[in-house]
Structure formats: structure tokens, C-alpha cells
Structure 1
Amino acid sequence: MTPNILILTIDSLRADKIYGKNKSSLTPNIDSLIKKGVYFTQAISTSDATGLSLGSIFTASYPFKTGITHFNYNPDASTYFETLRDQGYHTFATVPDVSFFLKSTSNFTDKDAYVYDKRDSWIQLVGGIGQLIIDRLERKLEEPWIYFIHLMDLHAPFYLPKEFDSEKYGKTRYDRMVSVIDFWIGKFLAKIDLAKTLVIISADHGDYIPVLDNRPKEQTKIHSLLKKGKETIPSLEPLGLKLFTAYNSLKKSYKYNKLKKSLTEDQLRTLDERGQWHLYDELIRIPLIFTGPGMPSSKIISEQVRQVDIFPTIIDILKISGLQNTVDGQSLAPLFVSKSLEEVPAYIETGSRDPKKLGNIIGLRTPKYKYLRSRIDPAQNISLFDLQNDPLEQNNLAQSKPEIVKEMETLLNKIRLGSINQDLPEFDDEETKKIQEELRKLGYL
């Protein structure tokens, strides 16, 4: 039997929020998938940015080999969707209407590109996207199929449905939104024959969860007023959005400065943004679930694995040849049957919100250490953390353990052998305008 494949990635979903002591969400459907399959507790994303991370999944190769970033999709990079298409699979997708997703799914059999915008027009799962996915599953897709879904409902700032806004569904608004997503996952699974479908659930990256509420009552009132204003005088919408953005920025700055003296260092770091100078585990440790025909049940694997390993594992499960000899990933299938597998260091890098620049930091994560340094100058911004004894990454050991720094730098250079020239393209005024609009849609401007 050739199984169908469902790959669901949830933007900004942290591993510690669906499994372990920090979980407070109500997730019966995710829990059931873990019970019926395999869960990796130490899956590491390539980056804290979507394009870099998902590009690594699709190609099983790191960005420095494919040239793929969020703003620069390399159409010449081979993906495993193409490999599966050549094996007779029909390719489908439901993704946001931003350039990375549109380009990466351009050769799919069919796709739904939903409108993603951080305004009141953003409909989310509860407003129609969930039903869009259900409708596609009910069409009885031509088999064998691979269906890729990327959900943005957890990407901040998000809007939590009122019926889920209680402690029953989690301690924080983030946890409660995870419960919302799980509710819809249950609806999707009800439309799938799980006896012949391989299901993979993961994320692009994690995220900070701010100690400050990012949607206080007064913000909700302003958002409502802007909506009414847009309906009355549509031409005022751009001005209203600018005022709303400025209000949020000033309010965040005011709260940050006011509370700075009373917050701990750990609390302050929750107010940081991705794509800066850090790659804490809350940004790069992601969930990874495999379940379906032939999978062992209730198997929890604690070995470190990487995003680039996902598709080589799928290909191994399907017993078809692919791109394994030329990629960075390896099959994780031996771990399913408790065979040993070398824990390979995970290459990691920060993303950039500037399409004309690459991220600030590159580095490695091993089960014991995390090593980070400047992308441009190996001698600058060096960090070394002992993850076993300092899981919160508070004590930088770079000065006291230079021998480990040297060893990690040697490993990093070895992994980066074969890097391509990542010269970023020049953008004309029209392209720059489109990128700025996309950044605004994503909530970055």
C-alpha cells in the first residue's frame, strides 16, 4: 500500500507547549496522535524565520546550500515534493498568500492560498480557513496524495475566539490558541483514513511568549473602532492602520520601560523579537510527530533531530529513492525501532526582516552545547551554553571554555563546506513595495 501523506506545520508552535511540564493547553487530538505514533522531544528548527526553516524541510538541506530565504525562493533548488510527484503523488496545499508559499507550491497539482493579513479581515481557522481545509479533504483527493498545510493562527498578534478564552483551555492566550488549533486538527483527522495516511505535525519555528498581554481591553476597543471606521469610510483605512500600529508601538515601549525594573532577565527576554541576536531554545525547539501505518505507538524519542531529517525519513518509510546522498538530512526511521543513530549537530541561524540582509547569527546546537557567533565575523558575538546544566541559557561560557568554542567552530565550518554564494538579489521600487506590504501583512511593520 502506498500511503497518503498529510504534513501540517503550525507557525510559531513551541515544543514545550504541546508536551511536557509547561503544557497547559487542552489538546486531545494531538495527544492521541502522540499516543498512536512517535514524538520527538528534541526536534530543532534551522532558524527562527519561516522561509529558512520550511525551505530546510522541503529540501532537506540548509539555507547556505540552497540559497532559500523568506524573500528569495530559489526555483532551482530540488524539493522532496518534486521527488514524490515523480513517484506518482498528487501534490496539494493550503497556505497563506505570501510570496514564499506561493512560489514553493507553484508546481503543485492544486492549492488554496488563503488571505493572511493582520487586520480584522484575517479570518483564521474559525472564520473559514478550517472549513476550506475540510472541503478539500471531502473532495476525496486523487491518491496517492501529499497535502501540505501551514497554519498562521498562532503567529502573533493573534485573535483568540471568545469561547476558548478561559483557563480550561490554557494558562496563557498562547496556550488557549493551541487548544483552538487542536480542536480543528480533530476535524481534519475525522476526514482522513488514518489507516492509510502518514501524518506529520511540526512547526516552522518557536516564539517568545510575552509576559505582557498583547491584546489588552483598550486595544480591542480601538481595533473595533477601526473596523467601524473602515466600513463607514473605506479610504480612511490606511491612516487608521498607521495610527493603530503607532499606538501599539508606543504602548509596548511605555510598558517595557515601566516594567523593566520589576521584571527578571528571563521575563524581559520574552519581550524580544525573533530575527535578532539570540536563538534560545524557545525559538528553535519545535514539536515533531509521526503517526500512521507501520508506525510504532506511544514512542517518545529524546535524541536530538533536525528539520532537515523530516523528508528523508518520509522517503525511507515509503521505501523509495530520493535525494539523500546530496542533502544534509538523514532518515530517522532507525529510531522508530530503537536502533542507534548518530546525533548530528544541528546548524542554526537567525532570520532577517530586511530582504537585503541575511540574519545576524549562525551556530550549532548539540545535545550538550549551543554555540553561536556573528555571521560576518567569527570572533564577534560569541555565545556558548551548556544546555544540560543551563537549559535557560543564562551563563555564557565562551570566555571560560575556549577549547569548546574552537571545537564547535571547527564543526560549524565543516558543516558549511559547500556553501553557495548567498548574494541577495537587488529589488526595484515595485518589488520593494510588494515586500514592504508583505512584511506589514505578517505584522513586522
Structure 2
Amino acid sequence: MPSQRPNILLIVIDCLRADRTFDDDRTAQTPGLHALAERGTLFTHLITANSMTIPCMTTMFSGMYPAHHGVRAMVGARVSDSVPLLAELLRVNGYHTYAEATGPLSQFYRLDRGFDQYEFRDGVKSPMLGEWGDGLIRRFANGEFREPWFTYLHLWGVHRPRQVSPAYNKPEFGRTEYDRAISSYDARLRELLKAIDLDNTIVLVTGDHGEKIPENNLENQVEFFKKSLSKGSQGKASSAWVRTRRKAVASLRAGWFSTARLLYRAGVLDSPLASVTGHGYHVYDSLVRVPLVVAGGPVPAGRLISEQARQIDIMPTILDLAGLADETPHTADGRSLTPFMHGETLVEEPAFIETCQNSREPSTFYGVRYDGYKYAYDANNPKVPEELYDLTADPRETKNLAASLPRKAAELRALIESHLDQAATAAVSMTDELSDVEMAGLAEHLRKLGYVE
């Protein structure tokens, strides 16, 4: 017998870009995700609140912007116990809550609050494409999750080091390794969804943030250079050789950022960060535009929404779909997206974005996406060029209009400054909660994942 409330499966694929998954010019093969989208609603322009995992997942679970919940860096901050989280609200209302987490999402960050079971695994050693994934699919097929359940599944294989099934490691499944990883995970998700009763389960698939991948010869050369430097920097932190290599990599990376900005000012590069790959350093759409598919249960089929949605909207949307809209906490900055699913419209709201540092201090590089434009600037460094893009005429953000449209740039900058002022009372202190032992353990974990040098 179906449970009174629908089951909810939230799948977060790390580094999943919207354009590489659903745009017409994609080279990845994603029939599974397209079939799921046809059964429900596809949001093609969900904008993340940050360009790194921990701030983004804290936003997804709290419905709050990073400037509000306070987790604005990968090191040194974790969500306050006073912030209501999604799993807590669902559990209090009768849900059995499960998490299959990976990457940097250890219990240290307190995002396990509200989960009856929070399983943390190594996403490289226990990938969805291997035996671990086989076991997870069996658990769903055998009904091992008590209804009504909420399950959060974080998948790592699109993130570096990318995981590609041998059968999909061919040009027809993607032009790049990144695209072939998406094709591989699409096929695996098809197997997972066959084990789930979609009539009684709402499935949400999204990315925590995007990823800049090499797009030209220069970027391919830079990527190869970075990999060659990093090979010798893996290992235990206690190794003097490893520490030296890591410092060298960090120094070279910082030097290249500075050089790239100088080349941009001289007109040699089209963008101040044109040759940089990965994520965390900017607010370009390749880094912050992810898809959101919502399907199953009572969700109407066949909706495609190109209007802007925001990562802060995911928590209120899930509560609304569960029949718990009244439980949305007053602390949440987002709103439910369910009106879109029923053919209604919502007035566009600005999507505020931050970058993230691999240090205890938050970045001061901010952006906003609103009214067809993207604006970004560094609040603490006037030497960093401000950037303004007309997203309708220039969706790839190649022509910086900040100098030619100063009034529009000033208008959007004022929006960001107002947003930051309103969120000035952050929920998290970044200073005195962490012991030296905790900081050392966290730093070592993030080093192994390549987040810090």
C-alpha cells in the first residue's frame, strides 16, 4: 500500500553542468535523464549559490544563501545547529531519512543532522559504476528503505578523477572524458530508477555546481601541466616531498591566475580566467548553471522551464512536494518552484553567487544573475576587472560589457551589496568552533580530494 506521503529521492551529481546534460549541442548521451524529464519537469537554468560543494550543499539543505548560513569556504566552517535542515524537517514529519554521501561531505560539516542513517563513502573506491552501485540498486529493489523515505544520494564520478564505463569510453558517448562520464552515469541511473516505484516516489536530479573543462588547445595544455605537477603531490601530508610539491602547485596556480589577468588586460586572452579549468574560482555559467529534474508521484509531466531558478529554492520545493509547505522555515531565502510545474509563472528573483576559497576565509568575489545579465566583481580587489555579460546575446559570456554599460553594472553591483548587507548576521562563526585536531583531520581529507594543497 502506498505511504501517505511520497517517497523522495534527491540525487546530486557532483560537477553536473546543465548545458552538457540537456542543451541541444551536448555530446553526452543522456536518454535516461531525458526520459525522466519528460515524465516530470526540467529546469534548465538552476543557478547554484556557490561554485564549491560544501557551501552549495549547505544551501541545498537549508534554503539559505552562503552569506546567510555562513558556510562560505571549504575549510573552517560548518552549519550552526540553530539552522533548520531539510532532513530534520522531514524526519519530524514522519519520514525515514537516509544519506549516501561522498566527496568532502563528511560528518564534520554537520550536514548529517536529521538523517537516521548517514553513510559516508570514498566515491572513487566505492563508485556508483561498481559493486557499491550494484548493492545500492538491490537495496531499492528489495524495499530496504522504510516508507515514507527521503534518500539523499551524492554521486562523485563526473567529478575528477572522472569515472567512465568501458562501454561508454567511445567518441559517440561524448567528445571529452567529462561528457563520457555523464553518459556512463546516465546509463547507471536508468538501472537505479527501474528499481524504484515512480508512482509513489518523487525523484529530483541536480548538480551541486558545474565545472570548467578544457575547451581549446591552451586549456588542454594547462590541464596536462596541472596533472603532471599533481602526480607527485599525492600521499601522506607528513612527507616533506609531498608538502613541497603541494606548495609548488599552489604557488604556480596563483601565479598563473595573476598572469592570466594581465594577459586579459593586454587583450591576449578573451577572459581573465580563460585558461583555468575545474571549479571554485568564478561565477561563469559553466560553473553555476546546473539542471534540475523533478519527476514522479504527483508531478505533472512534460514541463520544460527555461526561466531562472535558484539553488535556495530546492529545500522549499521538496517540502512543498511532500505536502509540508507550511514547514518551510522562516530562515529560508528560497521559494517553492511548484507553481512552474503547474503551468504558472513566478516573478524573477536575482540569483546571488559566491566563489569559494580553500582557506578559512570566504572569497570576496561575488556575482548576480538577473534580468538577462550576469555581473561579477571582487569586493576587496579593485584591480580585478569587473565583468558584465548580456546572457541573451552572449550566453557563453565572452564579451565583457562592464565598461560600455556602466549604469547596468552599477545597478547589479548595488543588488549584490544590498544582499550582503541583509545577510550580515551570519549563522556560523568561522573562528572558535574548531579544535586543532579537527582542523588537521579536515585539511587532510580535503587534500586527498585535491581541494587544498
The TM-score bracket by the shorter chain reads: 0.7 to 0.9
Structure 1 distance, partners of 2:403, 2:347, is 29
Equivalent runs, 1:24-43 vs 2, <5 Å: 24-43=27-46
Where does residue 108 of structure 1 map in the other structure? Answer: 115
The CA deviation at 1:43 is 0.9
Equivalent runs, 1:224-243 vs 2, <5 Å: none
Where does residue 323 of structure 1 map in the other structure? Answer: 328
Deviation per CA, 1:12-40, whole angstroms, max 9, x where unpaired? 01000111123111222111101111001
Where does residue 311 of structure 2 map in the other structure? Answer: 307
Matched, 1:338 2:337: no
Matched, 1:76 2:77: no
Give the 3-state SS of the residue equivalent to 1:308 in structure 2: helix
Matched, 1:291 2:295: yes
> Structure 1 pair 45/182, CA: closer, same or farther in 2 (3 Å)?
same
Deviation per CA, 1:80-105, whole angstroms, max 9, x where unpaired? 21111111001101011645555211
Where does residue 23 of structure 2 map in the other structure? Answer: 20
Structure 2 distance, partners of 1:215, 1:160, is 19
Normalization by structure 1: what TM-score? 0.84
Give the conservation status (yes or no) of the 8 Å contact 2:12–2:154. Answer: yes
Matched, 1:425 2:435: no
> Structure 1 pair 241/22, CA: closer, same or farther in 2 (3 Å)?
farther
Matched, 1:441 2:445: no
> Structure 1 pair 188/16, CA: closer, same or farther in 2 (3 Å)?
same
Structure 1 distance, partners of 2:189, 2:436, is 41
> Structure 1 pair 98/205, CA: closer, same or farther in 2 (3 Å)?
closer
Where does residue 382 of structure 1 map in the other structure? Answer: 386
Tell me which amino acid in the other structure corresponds to 1:45. Answer: T
> Structure 1 pair 386/301, CA: closer, same or farther in 2 (3 Å)?
same
The CA deviation at 1:64 is 1.4
Structure 1 distance, partners of 2:98, 2:53, is 19
The CA deviation at 1:240 is 9.4
The CA deviation at 1:251 is 12
Deviation per CA, 1:197-229, whole angstroms, max 9, x where unpaired? 00000010000112428998xx89x98x999xx
> Structure 1 pair 100/16, CA: closer, same or farther in 2 (3 Å)?
same
Tell me which amino acid in the other structure corresponds to 2:447. Answer: R
Where does residue 350 of structure 1 map in the other structure? Answer: 355
Where does residue 398 of structure 1 map in the other structure? Answer: 402
Give the conservation status (yes or no) of the 8 Å contact 2:45–2:309. Answer: yes
> Structure 1 pair 159/316, CA: closer, same or farther in 2 (3 Å)?
closer
Tell me which amino acid in the other structure corresponds to 2:356. Answer: G
The CA deviation at 1:195 is 0.6
Query: Would you identify which runs of 4 or more consecutive aligned residues in structure 1 move more than 6 Å?
Result: 213-216, 237-253, 377-380
Structure 2 distance, partners of 1:176, 1:268, is 25
Structure 1 distance, partners of 2:245, 2:162, is 15
- Which among 126, 129, 132 is matched to residue 129 of structure 1? 132
Unaligned segments of structure 2, at least 5 residues: none
The CA deviation at 1:150 is 0.5
RMSD: 3.6
The CA deviation at 1:264 is 6.8
> Structure 1 pair 249/402, CA: closer, same or farther in 2 (3 Å)?
closer
Where does residue 98 of structure 2 map in the other structure? Answer: 92
Deviation per CA, 1:287-333, whole angstroms, max 9, x where unpaired? 10000122121211111000111121122222222125432101111
Give the 3-state SS of the residue equivalent to 1:129 in structure 2: helix
Give the 3-state SS of the residue equivalent to 2:208 in structure 1: coil
Give the 3-state SS of the residue equivalent to 1:175 in structure 2: helix
> Structure 1 pair 171/268, CA: closer, same or farther in 2 (3 Å)?
farther
> Structure 1 pair 167/367, CA: closer, same or farther in 2 (3 Å)?
farther
- Which among 5, 14, 39 is matched to residue 11 of structure 1? 14
Deviation per CA, 1:114-144, whole angstroms, max 9, x where unpaired? 1246xxxx34222333124224323431111
- Which among 48, 59, 63 is matched to residue 60 of structure 1? 63
Normalization by structure 2: what TM-score? 0.83
The CA deviation at 1:244 is 9.3
Structure 1 distance, partners of 2:242, 2:38, is 45
The CA deviation at 1:380 is 6.2
- For these two proteins, the number of residue pairs brought into alignment is 425
Structure 1 distance, partners of 2:40, 2:425, is 37
Give the conservation status (yes or no) of the 8 Å contact 1:48–1:275. Answer: yes
Tell me which amino acid in the other structure corresponds to 2:362. Answer: L
> Structure 1 pair 430/405, CA: closer, same or farther in 2 (3 Å)?
same
Structure 1 distance, partners of 2:53, 2:21, is 20
Give the conservation status (yes or no) of the 8 Å contact 1:206–1:285. Answer: yes
